[in-house]
Amino acid sequence: MKKSNKSEVGEAIDRVEGHLKVMGKATYASEFNVPNKVYGQAINSTIAKGEIISIDVSEAEKQKGVLKIITYKNAEKLKTLEGKLPEITTDSIAPVLQSNKVNYYGEYVGFVVAETFEQAQHAARLVKFKYKEDKNAIINFEKSKSQAFLPNEDSDYERGSIEKGLLQADKIVEQTYVTPIEHHHPMELHATIASWDNGGVLVYASQQIVDDAAISISATFQIPKKNVRVISSFVGGGFGSKLNLERHVILAVMASKMIGKPVQATVTRTQMFTNTGMRQKNEQTMKVGAKKDGTLTALYHDTLSHTSATQTYQEQCGLVTKMLYNTPNNKVLHRLISMNLQTPFSMRAPGEATGSFALESAMDEMAWQLKMDPIEFRIKNDTQKDLLEDRPFSSRLLTECLRIGADKFGWKNRKEQPRTNQNGNWLIGYGVSAASRNAPYQKTFAKVILDLKEDTVKATIQMDATDIGTGSYTIIAQTAAQYLDIPVEYVFVELGDSDFPVTPGSGGSWGAASYCNGVRAACESAITTLKNNRNINQDEEVSVADLLRRNQITTFEAEGMAEPSAEFEKYSIYSFGANFTEVWVDKDTGMYKIKRMVNVASAGKILNPKTAYGQIIGGLTMGAGMVIAEKTEVEPNFGNFITRSFADYHVPVNLDMANTDVIFLPEEDEIANKTGIKGVGELGITSVAASITNALFNATGKRMRELPVTPDKLM
């Protein structure tokens, strides 16, 4: 690394795109000023299972401004899903309006295009569908358990012998933990503007992975990928809901092709419940076996969830149980019920957020049985080896996170016995939970364009990376500034265009590590080439400006690629953390508040403490939401969601998270990748739910095994 300047990696600089955002000048998908654009409104089914037997468009068609009404009768034939319940992926095809079959309540059954948004909405309400309803729709999770199936061969896992492990145990905890359907609900609605032109299409869309979005569109329409351009300059949050391409985009592309005009489609907040993914309900049964001294002898984790009637999605809730603690005997199972609900998909820290709730609750229950401090119990079973992959962790500071957090939080003031720490009417409880999240990194390309004007070098970085509110623009600019040794003000970052070099996009906590290594590679490639061209020794320190001058050029372009090395495969790479919560519960009403939280994270090099803090706080808030509010209710007779807006789907507010400390442990993990970056995107959420419910137990003596925890449950 070169000499430091104010903008180098690690500095808490303000977001480089911050001004654009607060001035409303950052352009989100539906805000692009595309001439002649018209508006599409999708129509949702009103049965959970059955067939459309007739469609009456006569009244809708007559309405002012209506240009086209698309249903299965006149929709273009698309590529359809093959095989029984194929797995949903980030680049899955998204066929829509391909038959008269209805598989869930809210599925798209039509699309109305009109001159204005209001005209499209109005006319969409006037299209009349008649259905033949199939009364055997599977909408009741409880009643359908006998139909559970094994999603695939990898769904089950065992090492050692769980039976033996449980026999060796002095104490056994066996409990079931339930988490409900939850929705992502990013602030920016899913939206798109699609312009079909001469066999190709330009799509502005709110997507986390533009390359996969382009693949999905090209595969669904069976056109070459090079004919599809996807632009996602700014994304107002995704949380997993924008990892894959949803069907409103396909509808807009289809409509644009049919009518020869650009078509905008914005998903409504209510449609965000039914058409853009969700986290499914999970029932997780844990068995924990331990010796009197706290040594774990067995960990068992069995997850029952649901998928849709058309595709498979299995949240890997058992993953944490396979790797977090030092247990020789470990068994993890996953089962699914195919239901007449939309296909679930990844929601923030899929697997860990829910799996850690079950595991870290059961660990707390075991510590209580053993009369051991829950922190000491975890530390006793800490390991530097990933027993799942049979290899060491590149670095693992879980014990440090627990110890430093305990100190900062004042854990020593915790009363062991519930209901003994009181303040007036309040019962006070302390809770702890461990956090872990895979920190992957994937092949990433980036381009750097250098421009010399007088004494100043300006650099433009281009890559198809996205900024989903995470701060990608900023950390990419900081990385380029560092490797080119120029001020960050002279770095211009252009993202979210599928014409730019390919990246893995923003998801799975791999964005920062992937993007910044790609940028590093591009900058290094530029400098290396400029030196080679003039036979300059690679070790010689020459400024980029001088390199351009010595090459007698004023502009230069280079591309770089970074990917994990072979060394990378020899280690398991995770971020770790610990969360500490103090809750106050009103004795008489069960009303409770999160009084304060301390969260410790070890996530490799922190590129920008300000944006990383935002990431962790966001995760903590969503984790708190799991406990205090979030739940999507299925109507038991019809299969529609009763929760249809923010009036009834509640999320935490600032006051819920008012006193939250976030500590990053200094950590240089050179194995994880050359820049030492691990992910922070999803780490935050993984520990929160159990930390809060463990605190609620410490306050009240009541175990909360079903989320969310409404006050009545504490009475």
Sorted by sequence, the CB contacts under 8 Å of residue 650 that are 6+ apart come out as 625, 628, 629, 630
Q: How many CA atoms lie within 13 A of 392 on its CB side?
A: 9
Q: Kindly provide the b/e burial profile for residues 135-155, where b requires at least 16 CB atoms within 10 angstroms of the residue's own CB.
A: eebbbebeeeeeeeeebeeeb
Which of 346, 444, 472, 514 is the binder for ligand MOS (CB under 6 A)?
346
Q: Measured from the CB atom, is 262 or 508 closer to ligand MOS?
A: 508
**What is the DSSP annotation of 530-580?**
HHHHTT--TTS---HHHHHHHTT-SEEEEEEEE---GGGGGSB-EEEEEEE
Question: What phi, psi does 35 have (nearest 5°)?
Answer: -60, 145
User: In the complex, which residue's CB is closest to ligand MOS?
Assistant: 240
Please give the Cα distance from 382 to 439 (Å, whole number).
19
* Cα→Cα distances 388→159, 318, 441, Å: 8, 11, 19
CB 509 to ligand MOS: min, Å: 7
Mark the segment that binds ligand MOS (CB under 6 A) among 301-309, 346-354, 651-659, 671-679. Answer: 346-354
Mark the segment that binds ligand MOS (CB under 6 A) among 43-51, 60-68, 105-113, 239-247. Answer: 239-247
* DSSP code of residue 488: G
Q: Which amino acid is at 433?
A: S
Q: Measured from the CB atom, is 43 or 210 closer to ligand MOS?
A: 210
Residue 277 interacts with ligand MOS (CB under 6 A)? no
Nearest in space to 681 (alpha carbons), one of 508, 553, 526: 508
Q: Measured from the CB atom, is 345 or 483 closer to ligand MOS?
A: 345
As beta bridge partners, residue 431 has 581
How many residues bind ligand MOS (CB under 6 A)? The answer is: 11
* DSSP code of residue 452: E
Mark the segment that binds ligand MOS (CB under 6 A) among 11-19, 235-243, 403-411, 479-487. Answer: 235-243
Mark the segment that binds ligand MOS (CB under 6 A) among 51-59, 238-246, 321-329, 667-675. Answer: 238-246
Q: Measured from the CB atom, is 192 or 346 closer to ligand MOS?
A: 346
Nearest in space to 203 (alpha carbons), one of 492, 632, 499: 499
Which of 113, 191, 201, 243 is the binder for ligand MOS (CB under 6 A)?
243
Please give the Cα distance from 91 to 516 (Å, whole number).
23
Contact 450, 512 (CB under 8 A): no
Torsion sign over Cα 546, 552, 554, 556: negative
Interaction residues for ligand MOS, span 192-231 (CB under 6 A): 208
CB 212 to ligand MOS: min, Å: 12
Please give the Cα distance from 671 to 552 (Å, whole number).
39
Contact 367, 328 (CB under 8 A): no
Helices then strands, counting H and E runs in the chain, come out as 17, 26
Contact 463, 515 (CB under 8 A): yes
CB 3 to ligand MOS: min, Å: 36
Question: What phi, psi does 431 have (nearest 5°)?
Answer: -135, 155
CB 565 to ligand MOS: min, Å: 23
Residue 240 interacts with ligand MOS (CB under 6 A)? yes
**What is the DSSP annotation of 263-320?**
EEEE--TTHHHHSS--BPPEEEEEEEEE-TTS-EEEEEEEEEEEE-SS-B----TTHH
Q: Measured from the CB atom, is 243 or 258 closer to ligand MOS?
A: 243
Interaction residues for ligand MOS, span 347-406 (CB under 6 A): 347-348, 350
As beta bridge partners, residue 459 has 450, 491
Which of 108, 204, 239, 445 is the binder for ligand MOS (CB under 6 A)?
239
Q: Measured from the CB atom, is 282 or 482 closer to ligand MOS?
A: 282
CB 92 to ligand MOS: min, Å: 15
SS3 state at 149: strand
Mark the segment that binds ligand MOS (CB under 6 A) among 199-207, 345-353, 486-494, 691-699. Answer: 345-353
Please give the Cα distance from 428 to 415 (Å, whole number).
9
CB 240 to ligand MOS: min, Å: 3
Residue 471 interacts with ligand MOS (CB under 6 A)? no
CB 353 to ligand MOS: min, Å: 9
Residue appearing with tokens 């001058």: 549
Question: What phi, psi does 407 have (nearest 5°)?
Answer: -65, -50
Please give the Cα distance from 465 to 514 (Å, whole number).
9
Mark the segment that binds ligand MOS (CB under 6 A) among 75-83, 143-151, 343-351, 439-447. Answer: 343-351
CB 190 to ligand MOS: min, Å: 14
Q: Measured from the CB atom, is 313 or 409 closer to ligand MOS?
A: 313
Q: Measured from the CB atom, is 239 or 613 closer to ligand MOS?
A: 239
CB 348 to ligand MOS: min, Å: 5
Residue 238 interacts with ligand MOS (CB under 6 A)? yes
CB 208 to ligand MOS: min, Å: 6
Mark the segment that binds ligand MOS (CB under 6 A) among 236-244, 387-395, 497-505, 627-635. Answer: 236-244
Strand segments (E) across 388-455: 391-392, 422-423, 426-438, 444-453
Residue 679 interacts with ligand MOS (CB under 6 A)? no
CB 354 to ligand MOS: min, Å: 12
Contact characters 482-521, ligand MOS, x per CB under 6 A: -------------------------xx-------------
Mark the segment that binds ligand MOS (CB under 6 A) among 70-78, 261-269, 341-349, 414-422. Answer: 341-349
Q: Measured from the CB atom, is 238 or 652 closer to ligand MOS?
A: 238
SS3 state at 646: coil
* Active-site option among 17, 246, 582, 682: 682
Residue 400 is among the residues annotated as catalytic for this protein: no
Q: Measured from the CB atom, is 445 or 510 closer to ligand MOS?
A: 510
Q: Kindly provide the b/e burial profile for residues 364-398, where b requires at least 16 CB atoms within 10 angstroms of the residue's own CB.
A: bbbbbebebbbbebbbbbeeeebbbeeeebbbbbb
Mark the segment that binds ligand MOS (CB under 6 A) among 282-290, 344-352, 366-374, 624-632. Answer: 344-352
CB 581 to ligand MOS: min, Å: 23
Binding site for ligand MOS (CB under 6 A): 208, 238-240, 243, 346-348, 350, 507-508
Active site residues: 682
